Structure 1
């Protein structure tokens, strides 16, 4: 037996109100959200706000005193990138339930969010940060990609 249209509309309206309340709760949770991370060399700690903005910066244990400007800048940028990636992941986790289709109203699909367009480089920073690069990685990349005889290095075909 088919459900009357009035009931279907009432269910859809209730579902929309539920989604609206869930969005309001998520926005409230994000209002004060931060992510704090340290650079890999442990010289810098950054705090990033919910929109990826730099909310705090600390230089740890005087390590910055022995760094040149380029090294310090690289540490700040690396930590800020990782902080933005961590915050982006928190936002995605918080809003992910809203991307699912409705169980009670099949006609209501979840919200379609283009995370890559929304967060762009922040997500790529996180993917690249999954495995810390070791000092020899850059050289190994160069060897694998280009050799003197014009052939690709080992590991590639």
Structure 2
């Protein structure tokens, strides 16, 4: 005869195994995935991997040739930031199914539920996923 506590432990272990399998599936799905963003003027295309690291930069047109160095640099930075933000959003979306509260939790943590302010979770994920490699992370930006 099993005790109610033993049943609870068995149920908790079964749920743990389901969650572990779901997380493993998400991880396998994200491994090797990438996000590509093309600048509005089509002068540059940036591909980042699922952790936000720049994997490739392409210049699909010759438009970059007529740009000043500062203009091209600004375009690269903004396109990289946009690609990283999209990659992070895709990663968060992938985990929505296993987070308690699902999509509502993702929306709350990412600020989509009300405002465009960077949330503490986004800041943490940026540190973890992007290795803190953000333009505002210098000594003055902290």
TM-score by length of 1: 0.64
Please report how far the alpha carbon of residue 5 of structure 1 lies from its aligned counterpart in structure 2 after TM superposition. Answer: 1.4
**Residue deviations 1:51-98 (CA, integer Å, cap 9, x gap):** 110011111210011111111111111111000000000110111222
How is 1:31-110 mapped onto 2 (pairs within 5 angstroms)?
31-100=31-100
TM-score normalised by L of structure 2: 0.70
Count of residue pairs the alignment pairs up = 109
- CA RMSD across the alignment: 2.1
Runs of 4+ in 1 over 2 A off after TM superposition: 112-116
The partner residue of 2:123 within 87, 103, 116 is 116
Which sections of structure 1, spanning at least 5 residues, go unmatched?
A: 102-111, 123-157
Higher helix share: 2
- In the alignment, which residue of structure 2 is the partner of 1:19? 19
1: distance between equivalents of 2:9 and 2:32? 36
Which runs of no fewer than 5 residues in structure 2 stay unpaired? 102-108, 110-119, 131-142
- Give 3-state SS (helix, strand or coil) of 2:46's partner: strand
- Report deviation, 1:114: 2.9
Cα offset, 1:41, TM superposition: 2.1
Indicate the structure (1 or 2) with the bigger Cα radius of gyration: 1
In the aligned structure 2, how far is the partner of 1:30 from the partner of 1:11?
29
